[in-house]
Amino acid sequence: MAQVLAVPGDVRHGFSYIGQFNHDFGRITGIAATIKGNILLCDYVKKNLILVDHLGIVLRKLDVDSEPYDLAITSQNIGYITQPNSRTILQIDPDRMMILFKVTCNELSTTVFCVSAVPNTGRNLSGNVSCFLGVKIHGFSYGVPVNHDQICITDVPKNDRKIGSCVVRFHTVNEHSCLSCIGGQNYITFNETWGYPIKTCNIATMDTPTDICSDDYGHIYVSGQGSNNIHRLTDAMEKMRKIFYREQDYKVLDIPLDSHHGIKEPVALCFNQDYSKLYIVNEWGKSVLIFDVI
């Protein structure tokens, strides 16, 4: 596979292919990095969590009681796993693979489907919101904050943190805004204040976005499952927004990875904690690609 270099003069990363791994996965749907540099995976079909090292060697497996769909690991190294089919959330110590807490929603019309960690909230548990849970009520999605490490998914509409409808994944840019992938569509949405208006970000070269993450420069990466590529976006209006308080407008910088680099039906992606590696769940959840960040 070809090495992908950063464009001269621009503050952005390049990528160098390291390898891939496949441990007879059923279907990997979620991926996140731990503080120790390990990678945690959700195998939806086999109902287990898999902890691998930075090169994909299996360290531990943990069977769970339902299909794990999405996960996030906070700056405090606490993991949150969503199990939408059983309407449950697991809180775990990811490097020790120990379940710390489990929450079940008893409302049949409500489920927790995805989760996103808020970046840069510090190592110590504090009053900061460490992550947001994506909760669906009658098909509409809300971002529910995890504060002081407490999980509460009751009275969700009163929190008024609306994400939108038909959301399959979302990524918190900060405590007040998020980007979302919409099921069956070829665009992502931006929500600046956890409410309306929800702005549409059309990407002509992308088909079926499935996951979103960000690097240490603040660039946004979006996986295109149908287009077999990874897009890199930048907030072109950030400087103007700081001056005039205008809305953000995410623009495509480039397509750093595509089918020529082995990208095929990507499902999810993440950087490790020090942003030295990029991991991409590939082939509709059957393998994981590893790239060095250069």
Average pLDDT of 188-199? Answer: 82
Given this model, what pLDDT does residue 251 score? 85
Given this model, what pLDDT does residue 240 score? 42
Examine the pLDDT at 1 and tell me if it is beyond 70: no
**Which residue type occupies 169?**
R
Given this model, what pLDDT does residue 243 score? 46
The answer to whether 258 and 230 have CB atoms below 8 angstroms apart is: yes
pLDDT-based confidence at 158, cuts 50/70/90?
low
Average pLDDT, the chain: 89
Examine the pLDDT at 8 and tell me if it is beyond 80: no
pLDDT-based confidence at 249, cuts 50/70/90?
low
Which of 220, 198, 195 shows the shortest CA–CA distance to 209? 220
Q: How far is CA 285 from CA 41, 188, 195, 282, 288, in A?
A: 10, 21, 32, 5, 8
Given this model, what pLDDT does residue 178 score? 93
* Domains and their CATH numbers in the chain: 18-293 (2.130.10.10)
Kindly report which listed range (37-51, 177-191, 258-272, 273-287) carries the lowest average pLDDT score.
177-191
Average pLDDT of 262-282? Answer: 97
Which of 120, 191, 111 shows the shortest CA–CA distance to 156? 111
Chain-centroid distance of CA 276 in Å reads: 17
Kindly report which listed range (25-34, 96-105, 229-238) carries the lowest average pLDDT score.
229-238
Given this model, what pLDDT does residue 55 score? 96
Given this model, what pLDDT does residue 244 score? 44
Examine the pLDDT at 197 and tell me if it is beyond 90: no
Given this model, what pLDDT does residue 237 score? 44
The answer to whether 127 and 139 have CB atoms below 8 angstroms apart is: no
Examine the pLDDT at 281 and tell me if it is beyond 90: yes
pLDDT digits (tens, 9 = 90+) for 221-244: 999 999 999 999 987 545 444 444
Given this model, what pLDDT does residue 181 score? 96
pLDDT-based confidence at 4, cuts 50/70/90?
confident
The answer to whether 264 and 273 have CB atoms below 8 angstroms apart is: no
Given this model, what pLDDT does residue 155 score? 63
- In the chain, the percentage of residues whose pLDDT exceeds 70 is 88
- In the chain, the percentage of residues whose pLDDT exceeds 90 is 64
**Which residue type occupies 51?**
L
Query: How many whole angstroms separate alpha carbon 215 and alpha carbon 41?
Result: 19
Examine the pLDDT at 92 and tell me if it is beyond 60: yes
Given this model, what pLDDT does residue 9 score? 57
Per residue, what are the HEC states of the chain? CCCECCCCCCCCCCEEEEEEECCCCCCEEEEEECCCCCEEEEECCCCEEEEECCCCCEEEEEECCCCCCEEEECCCCCEEEEEHHHCEEEEEECCCCEEEEEEECCCCCEEEEEEEECCCCCCCCCCCEEEEEEEEECCEEEEEEEECCECCCCCHHHHCCEEEECEEEEEEEECCEEEEEECCCCEEEEECCCCCCCEEEECCCCCCEEEEEECCCCCEEEEECCCCEEEEEEECCHHHHHHHCCCCCEEEEEEEECHHHCCCCCCEEEECCCCCEEEEEEHHHCEEEEEEEC
Examine the pLDDT at 201 and tell me if it is beyond 60: yes
Burial degree of 132 (CB within 10 A; 0-12, 13-18, 19+)? buried
Given this model, what pLDDT does residue 175 score? 87
Query: How many whole angstroms separate alpha carbon 70 and alpha carbon 44?
Result: 9
Burial degree of 207 (CB within 10 A; 0-12, 13-18, 19+)? middle
26 or 195, greater pLDDT: 26
Query: How many whole angstroms separate alpha carbon 151 and alpha carbon 251?
Result: 34
pLDDT digits (tens, 9 = 90+) for 104-133: 988 888 889 999 999 988 888 777 889 999
